[in-house]
Amino acid sequence: MFRPKRQTIGINMKLVICEKNIAAGRIAYILSGGKSKSTRLGKTPVYEFTKDGDIWKVVGLRGHIINLDFPAEFNRWNKIRPSELIEVDPCKKVTEKSIAASLKSLVDKNPFLIVATDYDREGELIGVEAVELIKDFNKDINQIKRAKFSAITNYEIKSAFEKLEDVDYNLSSAGESRQVIDLIWGAVLTRFISLTSGRLGKEFLSIGRVQSPTLAILVEREKEIINFQPKTFWKIIATLKKEKLFDATHKEGQFWDEKQVTEIFDKIKNCKEASIKKVDKKTLKELPPAPFSTTTFLGAVSYLGLSAAKAMSIAEELYMSGLISYPRTDNTVYPSSLNIKGILQKLSNSQFSKEAKEVMNNGRAYPTRGKKKTTDHPPIHPVGVSTNRKLTSEQQKVYELICRRFLATLAKDAISETVDVSIDISKEEFKTSGYRLIEPNWRAIYTYFKEKRKPLPELIEGEKVEVTKINLKEDKTKPPQRYSQGSLIAKMEQLSLGTKSTRHEIINKLCYRRYITLSPLAPTPIAFAVIDALSDYDVVKPKMTAALEENMDLISDGKKTLEETVTESRKMLRTVMDALEKDKEKIKTSIKNAQREQSTIGKCPKCGKNMIIRTSKMNKRFVGCTGFPECKNTYSLPQQGGIIATTETCSKCNAPVVKVKSKGRSAWELCINYACSAKKPSKKK
């Protein structure tokens, strides 16, 4: 039976601080053996039980209950120069007052405090914020410990509470340094760019320490796509037949000289027979993928058609429900302490019974390993099986992806055969290759890879095969692909932009600020203007941000202080602002021109001039003609959702057609002319 170790004789109340209510409920259930009772203190749920003579109370926060902000007198944008904020110390404000009031009433009897928030920078900071607030309420509290766990399961929770540790104030300081630095940089740069461009109120322009270099990556790629000059090339492709059809390509691959390729094609285009010159077969072992880190997990969710932010939200739900391990991790190596056999035993009684038993009976000797090994949390893996609650369709997809990845890392190598064939057609060499899966092993479990290569018929050196046709194919080189959310997150990790916990949030923020579209992941005109205006400054280059990230790691390791790092960041920001102030007018012109381009939604059906999105004195958006006051044509717009210009016009009234994108809904098309006859319902007889 689980018995929490008594820390100090005479303690009769233990108060456990969790990050969220759902975690508090599960932890209380586990510690009490299912005997906890839920009560309410104001609006705050509190889970209570008695164990070994101690009264336990478990309470969940709502993430951060304290936030940083500048003192009220510095929040007047038009009165305070942005650069003045650099030296202003932010103040802490209680944002969840009902929870704070509940904590105050819970600590009047000097409880033993146990922090049980998520174990990372953010979680440690959330816990320390609560501890500091509690100590303000009761200065006599001095017994504070930390429960560290990577999954909300019976074993992990009980083990964590049997071996309580000290709160890691270095880790929380690293989290707080990020808050301070991001607030100062974000406020200073956002106010500067918004005031300079005249974009205030709801339309202000957001600039950030991580956000801007990330946006610069997307703008740079989009410029490569726009400026790409396609080159024409040709391929000669022969379709051959032995039992079934297969293709072979001239050994030259891509021809860049039309005369050369035409001469070769004319020479062989009527050939009806080919000779197999050489057949080279190889048997290969295909290693399973490495365990999931947060970055590789978010890269893989593209198989499921989910955004990175949505997938991360679902993973957090699964973690809180005790089904998977903590989803924020850089680790790609299972620790030796991980009870892999126990997890397989659970999965053998689930929908993955067949795969789990296959791995248990015929798996690899050691799991696969990635390149990163950390000690805070293991790679993402399943820890439980859903029995009491039904998962939503999206939760089931994410849970299955994680289970299959875990099982694949324990399965044997796949065995495949590749065949490279050299073929002679009228003394011109052609090449083809084939692929055949001999033993699927892990590939039968992790079914998300789609193999494009196909098997060839059995070909023998020296034999003749039929040529059914020979084609001369003209094509053009393609521009580089846009980033997907997964590949952008991987690029951010490579450049040390953000953390495993924040990268997907940065992408969402860029979309919310109308700097990018998500489908496809591409920058808008205002993004080009902002990045072009700032391209000569360090604020859009990853080097400075990476240096600050490294300093935060040093704080976590106890090798640097919060104060030192914040001082260095202020010095960097002053250098950036000195340069920006000098080019203020150039920046203003660039952004205003881009703003007009982005606001243009089409031509006025009355006078032919551009129509743009405007804002009324009542802060309502509408569409107005740039020919005003000569042309007074206007149209109303929906006040909610994003407005996306299209090149289409209404077939009935010739007014521009836009797309409206609201949160949680697919984009829908709208003729902006409210009086258009196309919108009127037809009369029924």
Per-position DSSP letters for 257-300, written without gaps between them: -HHHHHHHHHHHTT--EEEEEEEEEEEEEEPPPPPB-HHHHHHH
Q: Are 467 and 273 in contact (CB under 8 A)?
A: yes
Taking alpha carbons only, the member of 179, 171, 43, 34 closest to residue 115 is: 171
CA 389 – CA 82 distance, rounded (Å): 51
Q: Which two tokens stand for residue 447?
A: 């079914």
- Residue-wise burial string across 299-314, b where 16 or more C-beta atoms lie within 10 A, e elsewhere: bbbbeeebbbbbbbeb
DSSP structure class, residue 84: G
Residue 206 in contact with residue 594, Cβ under 8 Å? no
Is the bond leading into 629 cis (omega within 30 degrees of zero)?
yes
Compute how many other C-beta atoms are within 10 angstroms of the C-beta atom of residue 223.
14
Which residue among the candidates 29, 119, 326, 334 is catalytic per the annotation? Answer: 326
Tokens of 518: 């998500």
Do 431 and 248 touch, CB atoms closer than 8 A? yes
* Single-letter amino acid code for the residue at 7: Q
In sequence order, the 6+-apart residues with CB closer than 8 A to the CB of 237 are 247, 248, 249, 250, 470, 471, 473
Tokens representing 53 are 């003579």
Strands 414-425 and 232-242: unpaired
Strand bridging mode 668-671 / 656-661 = antiparallel
| DSSP 3-state of 335 | coil
CA distance 237 to 115: 67
Residue 664 is encoded by which pair of tokens? 């949680």
Is residue 625 a contact partner of residue 611, using CB atoms and an 8 Å limit? yes
Beta bridge partners of 7: none
Backbone angles phi, psi at 611, to 5 degrees: -110, 135
* Beta carbons within 8 Å of 635's beta carbon, 6+ residues apart: 611, 622, 623, 655, 672, 673, 674
Q: Report the distance separating Cα 255 and Cα 414, nearest Å.
A: 36
Terminal alpha carbon distance of the chain: 77
The torsion angles phi and psi of 428, rounded to 5 degrees, stand at: -105, 130
* Cα 67 to Cα 37: distance, rounded to the nearest angstrom: 31
Distance, in Å, from the CA atom of 419 to the CA atom of 220, rounded to the nearest integer, reads 40
Q: How many separate helices (H) and strands (E) can be counted in the chain? A: 19, 23
User: Is 326 considered catalytic here?
Assistant: yes
Residue 657: how many other CB atoms lie within 10 Å: 18
CB–CB of 428/268 below 8 Å?
A: yes
What is residue 545's DSSP assignment? H
Token digits of residue 354 = 């067949």
Cβ–Cβ < 8 Å for 56, 50: yes
Helical ranges in 414-484 per DSSP H: 442-445
Q: How far is the C-alpha of 379 from the C-alpha of 166, rounded, in Å?
A: 24
Whole-number Å distance between alpha carbons of 476 and 233: 6
What tokens were used for 36?
């906890």
Active centre residues (catalytic): 326
